[in-house]
Amino acid sequence: MKRPVFFLLFFFISISTFAQYRIKGKVTDAETGDPIPFAAVYAPGARVGMNTDFEGGYELNLKTWTDSIRVSYLGYVTQTKAIQELPEQTINFQLRPSDFELEAFVFEAGENPAFEIIRQAVARRKDFDKRSLEAYETKNYTKIEIDIDHLSEEFRQRKTVQKVTSVLDSIRQLTNDEGEKILPVFFSETLSHFYFRNNPLLKKEIVEKSKVTGVGITDGSTTSQITGSAFQEYNFYKNWLTILEKDFVSPIADGWKTFYDYDLMDSVLVGQDSCYQLQVYPRREQDLAFSGTIWIKKEDYSLKQVDLTIPKTANLNFIERIKIQQELEPTIMGPLIPAKTRVQIKIGQVTPNTAGLLAKFYTATDSVFITDPKPTSFFNNSVELKPDFGDATEEFWAENRIDQLSSEELAVLQMVDTLKKIPVIRFYSEGLKFFATGFLPVGKIDLGPWTEFGNYNNVEGLRGGFGLRTNYKFSNKWAFQGYLAYGFKDQRFKYSVSGKNILDRKRWTTIELSSSKEIDQVGLEMESLEGNSVFLAASRFGTLRRPFISTNQQLKFQREFFKGFLFQAGIKLSQFDPLYDFYYLEKGTGDYKSDFQTTELRASLRYGRDEIILINDNERASFGPSKWPIFELKFARGIQWLNGEVDYRKLDFYIYQRVNMGLFGVSRYELDAGKVFGEVPYPILKNHLGNGTAFYTTAAFNTMNFNEFASDQFISLRYRHFFEGFLLNRIPLMRKLKWRAVANANILFGSVSDKNITNAPTFDPQGNPIETFGRLDPTKPYLELGYGIENIFKFFRVDFFHRMTYLDSPDANGFAVKVSAQIIL
């Protein structure tokens, strides 16, 4: 009897084994093709379900057959598909986003149970914040894809677009029938090592290998510095996350209850961890806050994973969606490191007849090392490229990618390579770069800047010019630049030429020699306005105020001794030849003179503790500070040899900082103080920059006239605040228009010593009155207050300024309206 029983038992076990059904597949976003992690996959008839992994994959093993399988996820339309009675099959889902509104949960008594979970998670933030580690290193893989989407029929019918119709048509074969047509224009992959050190807080990324292909990308050295993981870091254990220069509050920030509501949705198993699944959404829909789902481990209240979206209702321009998905893993010391992060930024059409943009960022961490801190000198450069960063075969990438490319991504690579070779695409991409940078690359030289090609003013009349510079292809050690211009009215040539030798690229060290002859204006010198090209161009068009011919020869040396600390020194020989009625009394003789020469010895120190610096080919480019202020100290000594005629000393101190004010917006301030020691002609004094144009600028006092005041000692504060919708969001019409309030306050204390007042005669040698400069009362500040609206029609800003003091000055402008155009998110 044993054998028949054993046989029947074996038969039933075999039947149950072979009767299992294995169903696997992938769940993706129908519009973007991106995986949808954490989606619920459920077979109703078999009562079996699971969540998709970070790559959107799932695998169900059914003991009994059922006729359908269903996939659902918050923010997407639930989809059900039929399944066949087969032992193994693959069923993929493409979910379409839905416009959804969360239903309010009503609790009859007691506190929302989600609040205690969040309270515990916030209380333990320091235990899991990776910034609490003394030092760590990670090996990362990052890929970025940028596509043009929203390809409307009007856009496709344009003549320029029709020239690439064959390429666009082939895209249909590369996407799923349920997906949207896209035009990929950029794709990059990067393998890098990321280094972190605490106390002081320092970060660095060394790009070991990088592959960049894209429309308009001619050299990957600069692009490769910003395609690594350093710029894709999202830490939800910080109170605020900066995305696209906007600050978004974390769901587990200290002030969580001010910004968020929460619903406890479920208790789920994520991998081996039992987690609370919570839905989060902003209390005020216009706030820069997230909406979505977070998973918090029951064991220690640490974040396990997040799937968060910035809602369409947030006060942002052009952005249709910002979505962040992240998986976190603990280190051996406890704090969490993101194992995988996926970010999607969807930019809508500026106008109905244009196209949109879709950017996808993915970072995976292969390994984490808890190490001893590296010396601070190691962190001199925020991003460093290995010498052979661009030399890698396809076989190397196939072996070293943490995640292999999907068939769709391989098709994207092929498409980008095809597109960038099409002549019309190359023409428009180069044209856009020329407009944005001012230079047009032609082999080893760049033509430009285009702002020097033409101008018109009362001194030069019609002005024409031409310039060029060498680029990285010419040399990574030497850089030459120059331009030549001619005024048809004054019949003078103007020029500028310079040569720079880069001695050390790691500790940015250069020596530069330059010579120039140009028309400048007192208080509007080109050297002080190099970073404000729009205002400089506007001020040099039309009527020039107190113009002079400025002839300069300069030798300059600079070196970054450690991260953020830049030293500069040099010597500058200048000649001032006025083109207006100007005289000063020569020291010692009392004779009238109208021109003078100076020889300055210069030195300066600049320190930005967390300023992000990139080496842009042969230039050092700043991305600004993250949190800490930037300090600058400058000293100049005018000497009476090497043709110098004036003996003086100048000392200047400058601070700039961006301050996040949380719910109230963002502030920026600039503190500037200086003193001139010695008796000097007034063009050497601090001629405070006024703004006589109709355009708003942060560099000037906007109700002050040009050349209205000068000082030999001063201190000023320029303060700007951006409410980011805080005030106007409470007005229904303003909320719909997404207008944003701004505020300004500019204050200046200054004075001039008696000897410099005497040095500037008010009459020429013939007794005719001449203009000099206005003086400030040392006990009375110059004060102007402003308010305005930005984001008008998404591009324009209008500011209203009230001059509060010195209203009795000649030609005082008590009220001014300034306009400006800007592209902001």
Residue 104 has pLDDT above 60, yes or no: no
The confidence band for 596, taking pLDDT boundaries of 50, 70 and 90, is: very high
Higher pLDDT, 65 or 23: 23
State the pLDDT at residue 381.
80
The answer to pTM > 0.85 is no
The Cα–Cα gap between 93 and 95 comes to 6
- Distance CA(559)–CA(447), nearest Å, equals 28
User: Does residue 48 have a pLDDT over 90?
Assistant: no
For strands 21-29 and 93-95, give the pairing: parallel
Q: What's the confidence (pLDDT) of residue 7?
A: 39
Please indicate whether residue 406 or residue 338 has the higher confidence score (pLDDT). 338
Instruction: Kindly tell me if the per-residue pLDDT of 310 is higher than 50.
Output: yes
Band the pLDDT of 154: cuts 50, 70, 90: low
Q: Which residues lie below 8 Å from residue 34, measured CB to CB, with a gap of 6+?
A: 28, 56, 342, 344, 360
pLDDT at 514: 96
Q: Which of 66-80, 204-218, 543-557, 805-819 has the highest mean pLDDT?
A: 543-557
Which three-class secondary structure string do you get for 76-91?
ECCEEEECCCCCEEEC
For residue 162, the model assigns a pLDDT of 61
Q: How confident is the model at residue 156 (pLDDT cuts 50, 70, 90)?
A: low
**Quick one: pLDDT band at residue 178, thresholds 50, 70, 90?**
very low
Percent of the chain with pLDDT strictly greater than 70:
87
Number of other CB atoms surrounding residue 33 within 10 Å = 22
- How high is the pLDDT of residue 538? 67
Residue 499, pLDDT score: 97
What the block records as the tokens of 353 is 């007849």
pLDDT at 2: 44
Q: How far is residue 411's CA from residue 172's CA, in Å, rounded to a whole number? A: 11
Q: Please give the pLDDT value at position 349.
A: 67
What is the pLDDT confidence band of residue 529, given thresholds at 50, 70 and 90?
A: low
Mean pLDDT across the chain: 84
Find the mean pLDDT for residues 769-797.
90
Phi (first) and psi of residue 433, to 5 degrees = -65, -40
- pLDDT over 50 at 13, yes or no: no
- Give the pLDDT score at 746: 96
Q: Is the pLDDT of residue 638 over 90?
A: yes
- Beta strand pairing status for 461-470 and 445-447? antiparallel
* Percent of the chain predicted with pLDDT > 90: 40
Q: What is the pLDDT of residue 225?
A: 73
d(CA 405, CA 143): 10
- Region of poorest pLDDT, from 156-165, 275-284, 392-401, 519-528: 156-165
What pLDDT, on the 0 to 100 scale, is given for residue 64? 79
**Contact criterion met (CB below 8 Å) for 786 and 801:** yes
Q: Using 50, 70 and 90 to split pLDDT, how confident is the model at 103?
A: very low
Report how far residue 179's alpha carbon sits from residue 94's, in angstroms, rounded to the nearest whole number: 8
Which of residues 146 and 729 earns the better pLDDT score?
A: 146
| pLDDT mean over 631-650 | 94
- Burial environment of residue 473 by CB neighbours within 10 A (0 to 12, 13 to 18, 19 or more): middle
Confidence band of 244 (pLDDT split at 50, 70, 90): confident
- pLDDT value of residue 599: 97
Check whether 750 has a pLDDT greater than 90: yes
| Among 105-119, 442-456, 531-545, 700-714, the least confident range | 531-545
Query: At residue 392, does pLDDT exceed 80?
Result: yes
Mean pLDDT score, 433-442: 78
Checking if the pLDDT of 461 tops 90, the result is: yes
**CA 523 – CA 417 distance, rounded (Å):** 50
Statement: residue 528 has pLDDT above 80? no
pLDDT tens digit string along 802-820?
A: 999 999 887 888 899 999 8
As given in the structure block, the two tokens for residue 313 are 């209702």
Lowest mean pLDDT among 152-166, 222-236, 340-354: 152-166
pLDDT of residue 440: 84
Q: Which domains are delineated in the chain?
A: 16-95 (2.60.40.1120), 114-157+179-210+228-404 (no CATH), 654-825 (no CATH)
Q: Where is pLDDT greater, at 394 or 600? A: 600
Cα distances (Å, whole numbers) of residue 490 to 462, 467, 487: 9, 20, 6
